[in-house]
């Protein structure tokens, strides 16, 4: 972001020589509103200088006058962080904030604020819809996670908020254990796969039933784990069997991406339809104690 930082310094210098307020944020707000009025007056509502052109052009200040010279040979700056790279972080964010009752819009805003330091400048470009690219890409990431059963799929949850499914909790906990400090994993997308490779590899940790239960137990208050997992043992054994079949579908490169998505989603829907699954999920959600889970991870990380 060196190129952008240089431009920011130029603009801040210009603002200081044209002071409207002592507070920089208020100055920015004032200038933006003033420009809106000028756009309305001159019937020029759309900015003809693209974000990419501005980043690559040259700006200068001479006696307080700000000048801009376009770049004659523009380079492709890309479209920012791809949705597939946002998937693991979104799962981690939803795990750490599972108690917060937020709608989709607020989840996206809070998520972007959390990962702000790792975003590229083009991630923050506003599209024609009026939102930033990373806002849209976060939605795409969530849609894929939902399509593959990592987020719960119902009118109640999927269309108003994003809630982790049983699979989402398992994968999210494993991702957090691998990546306690939340760094982006710049991994190339596996051909014919819509899910991030780290999500795919998480299945290896839950192959046996004891490992599956242990993965869920690590997220819970230790004082309540034996009670809840003994009570729902038969339900969880059925769930584990279906999840094995789910991962086999996900890993089957002989299936098209569309077919893989359809069949894996059907397995998750079958799992959620089990008698007793809703009751387990409710008790499990209450049992979850992420702070305790994080404390243990931090101790291991020392």
What would the pLDDT profile of 50-95 be if each residue is shown by its tens digit? Answer: 888 888 888 877 776 778 888 888 887 887 889 999 999 999 999 9
Q: Is the pLDDT of residue 1 over 50?
A: no
* Range from 116-125, 157-166, 260-269 carrying the lowest mean pLDDT: 157-166
Look at phi and psi of residue 213 and say left if phi exceeds 0, alpha if psi is from -120 to 50, else beta.
alpha
Whole-structure pTM over 0.85, yes or no? no
pLDDT at residue 285 in the model: 83
In this prediction, residue 272 has a pLDDT band, given cuts at 50, 70 and 90, of confident
Quick one: average pLDDT of 145-152? Answer: 90
């Amino acid at each position: 972001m060196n190129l952008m930082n240089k431009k920011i310094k130029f603009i801040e210098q210009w603002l200081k020589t044209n002071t409207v307020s002592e507070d920089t944020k208020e100055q920015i707000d004032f200038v933006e509103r003033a420009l809106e009025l000028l756009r309305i007056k001159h019937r020029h509502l759309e900015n003809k200088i693209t974000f990419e052109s501005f980043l690559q052009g040259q700006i200068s200040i001479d006696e307080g006058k700000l000048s801009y010279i376009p770049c004659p040979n523009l380079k492709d700056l890309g479209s920012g962080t791809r949705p597939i790279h946002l998937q693991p972080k979104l799962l981690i964010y939803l795990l750490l904030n599972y108690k917060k009752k937020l709608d989709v819009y607020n989840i996206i805003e809070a998520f972007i604020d959390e990962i702000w330091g790792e975003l590229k400048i083009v991630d923050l470009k506003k599209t024609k819809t009026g939102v930033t690219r990373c806002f849209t890409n976060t939605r795409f990431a969530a849609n894929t996670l939902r399509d593959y059963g990592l987020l719960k799929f119902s009118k109640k949850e999927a269309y108003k908020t994003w809630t982790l499914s049983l699979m989402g909790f398992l994968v999210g906990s494993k991702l957090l254990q691998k990546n306690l400090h939340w760094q982006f994993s710049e991994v190339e997308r596996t051909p014919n796969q819509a899910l991030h490779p780290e999500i795919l590899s998480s299945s290896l940790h839950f192959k046996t039933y004891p490992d599956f239960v242990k993965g869920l137990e690590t997220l819970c208050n230790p004082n309540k784990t034996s009670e809840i997992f003994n009570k729902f043992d038969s339900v969880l054994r059925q769930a584990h069997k279906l999840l094995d079949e789910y991962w086999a579908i996900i890993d089957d490169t002989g299936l098209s991406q569309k077919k893989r998505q359809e069949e894996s989603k059907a397995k998750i829907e079958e799992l959620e339809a089990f008698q007793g699954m809703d009751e387990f999920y409710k008790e499990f959600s209450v049992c979850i104690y992420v702070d305790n889970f994080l404390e243990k991870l931090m101790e291991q990380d020392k």
